[in-house]
A and B are shown apart, each in its own frame.
Chain A
Amino acid sequence: MSLFHRHRGLTPYLLLAPGVLFLAVFFVVPLGFLGYQSLQSGNIDFGYAFTWSWGNYWTAIQDYRAQFIRSLEYAGIATLLALVVSYPVAYWIAFRGGRWKNLLLLFIVAPFFVTYLIRTLAWETILSDNGFVVNTLQSLHLLGPSGRLLATSTAVVTGITYNFLPFMALPLYVSLEQIDARLIEAAEDLYASKLHAFLRVTLPLSLPGVVAGTLLTFIPAAGDFINAQLLGSPDNHMIGNVIQSKFLELTDYPAAAAMSFILMAGILVAVFLYARAVGTEQLTGSAA
């Protein structure tokens, strides 16, 4: 009856067509080519041929098991850190922000306004050997006189946590902001302690934000290679670093393509296990 439903037949498809075609050609088809490439053998000089070379996957896992595990490990730790660090602040803005909420949210996303690489380089400056942080830690004897932060796993995880923090804080804020404060008051009126009211009312209601934030942080973090490259040493390299160098420096395309697929599979498995743990309802609720 209303106007946009009149030409039920073609109009929606006509509206969709250009964008969906674009995504089909430049997002779906490339994934197919990535799969095709991952099963090839040969080398760049004599050319690659498609040979159902499943061995590429096996070799990748065998040779780079450490980097795969490290990627999931660093991303997992960084995600957990981001959650713990930003939850109280998201809570504070949602319940105490008052008329300053928008301004405080602007502070939360402020890091995104500085080019990713530049803010990572800023961490390189902050954590550098003659920097303020290292000097302070050394004078407190928390770090040996020749100890350093750069080129350690601490630096890489710190960088990843910082760089993806807004992805965690924003969904947390959105879910906390939607909570009706009267529910918490009601819990307290019914003699729940503050802690109890938080654990039984606020936390469960904010779970969709926790789930969304965790995924938004974990997925890009697991594929990251910039932090490991700029803040870490080769000992801290993640699978992203390997994929990047295999593609762009060593031109070993089949191996790199196979690794990209293993990375995606690893992320999918991690997300699946996580979804099982928190309940799929939360997951689809946040995705819709």
Chain B
Amino acid sequence: MSTVAVERRAAGGPGVLARTWAFVRHHILTVYSILFFVYLLLPIAVVVVFSFNNPTGKFNYTWQGFTWDNWRYWDGVPGIRSAIFLSLEIALIASVIATVLGTLIALSLVRYSFRGRGSTNILIFLPLSTPEIVLGASLLTLFLNMNVVFGFWTILIAHIMFCISFAVVTVKARLVGFDRHLEEAAMDLGANEWRTFQKVTLPLIAPAILAALLLCFAISIDDFVVTYFNSGSKVTFPLFVWGAARIGAPPQVNVIGTAIFLVAVTLMLINIVLQRVRAGKGAV
């Protein structure tokens, strides 16, 4: 729309100078944006490239030569395998529980007006606006004072805690733009409340629930700070990277980083393509 406007002005506009200015400005923005994306993607490229590095010493900082070995022996470093599996396990359980709890809260907040709705909204908003280090530290003091043993359960609780708000926000966004007439129609046709929820509401908000699930999973598997405060002797993948970084991170760390990146990007691309296909069908 605005491109058209720019061209229209440029063609019939107030002279050569303005026309050149519009042209240059148009392209400056594009060139700048491309440079921006180079900057944004540069570290990712470094991670991918150095997953194929064959370092001679402890440090995987300078390029020494190409090898497939890091990918073939991705679990060739002691501790990396159990760290990855612990991260996956925590992320899976935490994202499911947080999404269920979050979806229920979202349903309640969007569908009902009740006393305490405002304060519930604030309660949901607060963890999102508290620095991670404070979230981690406060949970640590709770567990310390209650003499809870740090380990799997403390990590899991922490992850569910910081995921809930993200799940609520994601599902809420979808529920707000929801056509209530569909539910009323189902009720008119004799479905009871639970059946209506099952057959109409749930399928319609399913994409948002899935999105919340994926978001929680991604946040959980990436979390370092809160986990670091509440892990005891357990080691998740980010904690493994932290420990390894002090003595020089092995290239296997880049292998896992690249793998996580590829899985996430593939999922997102599938989502974009599906959206396009759906939009295309809608247009026909």
Residues of chain A whose beta carbon lies under 8 Å from any beta carbon of chain B: 2-6, 8, 11-13, 15-16, 18-20, 22-24, 26-31, 33-34, 36-37, 85-86, 88-89, 91-93, 95-96, 102-103, 106-119, 121-126, 128, 130-131, 162, 165, 181-182, 184-185, 188, 194, 215, 219-220, 222-226, 230, 240, 243-244, 247-248, 253, 256-257, 260, 263-264, 267, 287
Q: Is the CB–CB distance between A260 and B134 below 8 Å?
A: yes
Q: Is the CB–CB distance between A181 and B2 below 8 Å?
A: yes
Q: How far is the CA of A260 from the CA of B62 in the complex (A)?
A: 38
Q: Which residues of B contact A124 (CB under 8 A)?
A: 61
Q: Which residues of A contact B204 (CB under 8 A)?
A: none
Q: Is the CB–CB distance between B141 and A30 below 8 Å?
A: yes
Which of A15, A26, A91 is packed against the most chain B CB atoms within 10 Å? A26
Q: Is the CB–CB distance between A122 and B29 below 8 Å?
A: no
Count of residues in B whose CB is under 8 Å from the partner chain: 95
Q: Which residues of A contact B184 (CB under 8 A)?
A: 2-3
Q: How far is the CA of A169 from the CA of B126 in the complex (A)?
A: 22
Q: Which residues of B contact A89 (CB under 8 A)?
A: 32-33, 36-37
Q: Is the CB–CB distance between B131 and A267 below 8 Å?
A: yes
Q: How far is the CA of A113 from the CA of B105 in the complex (A)?
A: 27
Q: Besides A18-B104, A219-B129, 15 other CB < 8 A contacts? A: A3-B187, A16-B120, A24-B123, A26-B161, A30-B139, A92-B29, A96-B29, A106-B269, A107-B37, A110-B40, A112-B222, A115-B260, A124-B61, A223-B131, A256-B137
User: Which among B43-51, B68-76, B205-213 touches the partner chain?
Assistant: B43-51
Give chain B interface residues in 231-284, CB to chain A under 8 Å.
237-238, 241-242, 245, 249, 253-254, 256-257, 260-261, 264-265, 268-269, 272, 275
Q: Which residues of B contact A131 (CB under 8 A)?
A: 61
Query: Which of these, B42, B50, B126, B265, contacts A27 with CB under 8 Å?
Result: B126
- Name B196's closest neighbour in chain A (CB-CB): A3
Q: How far is the CA of A280 from the CA of B102 in the complex (A)?
A: 28
1/0 per position for B104-146, CB-CB distance to A under 8 A? 1101110110100100100111110111111101111110110
Given known contacts A33-B141, A88-B32, A106-B265, A11 and B112 CB-to-CB distance under 8 angstroms = yes
A103 to B: closest C-beta gap in Å: 6
Q: Which residues of A contact B7 (CB under 8 A)?
A: none
Q: Is the CB–CB distance between B138 and A31 below 8 Å?
A: yes
B250 to A: closest C-beta gap in Å: 11
Q: How far is the CA of A107 from the CA of B265 in the complex (A)?
A: 9
Residues of chain B whose beta carbon lies under 8 Å from any beta carbon of chain A: 1-3, 5, 9, 22, 25, 29-30, 32-33, 36-37, 39-44, 46-47, 50, 60-62, 101-102, 104-105, 107-109, 111-112, 114, 117, 120, 123-127, 129-135, 137-142, 144-145, 157-158, 160-161, 164-165, 168, 180, 183-184, 187, 193, 196, 218, 221-222, 224-225, 228-229, 237-238, 241-242, 245, 249, 253-254, 256-257, 260-261, 264-265, 268-269, 272, 275
A263 to B: closest C-beta gap in Å: 7
Q: Which residues of A contact B137 (CB under 8 A)?
A: 34, 243, 247, 256-257, 260
Which of A108, A117, A220, A240 is packed against the most chain B CB atoms within 10 Å? A117
Q: How far is the CA of A33 from the CA of B196 in the complex (A)?
A: 44
Q: How far is the CA of A162 from the CA of B42 in the complex (A)?
A: 11
Looking at chain B's contact residues, is the secondary structure mostly helix, strand, loop, or mixed? helix
Q: Is the CB–CB distance between B5 and A116 below 8 Å?
A: no
Q: Which residues of A contact B42 (CB under 8 A)?
A: 126
4 smallest beta-carbon distances between A and B, as pairs = A223-B131, A19-B101, A30-B138, A12-B112
Q: Is the CB–CB distance between A36 and B43 below 8 Å?
A: no
Which of B107, B140, B222 is packed against the most chain A CB atoms within 10 Å? B140
Given known contacts A12-B108, A20-B105, A128-B61, A223 and B1 CB-to-CB distance under 8 angstroms = no
Q: How far is the CA of A87 from the CA of B12 in the complex (A)?
A: 29
Q: Which residues of B contact A126 (CB under 8 A)?
A: 42-43, 46
Q: Is the CB–CB distance between A223 and B133 below 8 Å?
A: yes
A–B pairs, 19, beta carbons within 8 Å:
A3-B196, A12-B111, A12-B117, A16-B109, A22-B101, A33-B141, A37-B145, A96-B29, A113-B260, A117-B241, A117-B242, A119-B44, A181-B2, A184-B2, A220-B131, A223-B133, A225-B225, A243-B133, A260-B134
Q: How far is the CA of A248 from the CA of B137 in the complex (A)?
A: 10
Query: Which of these, B47, B111, B229, contacts A122 with CB under 8 Å?
Result: B47
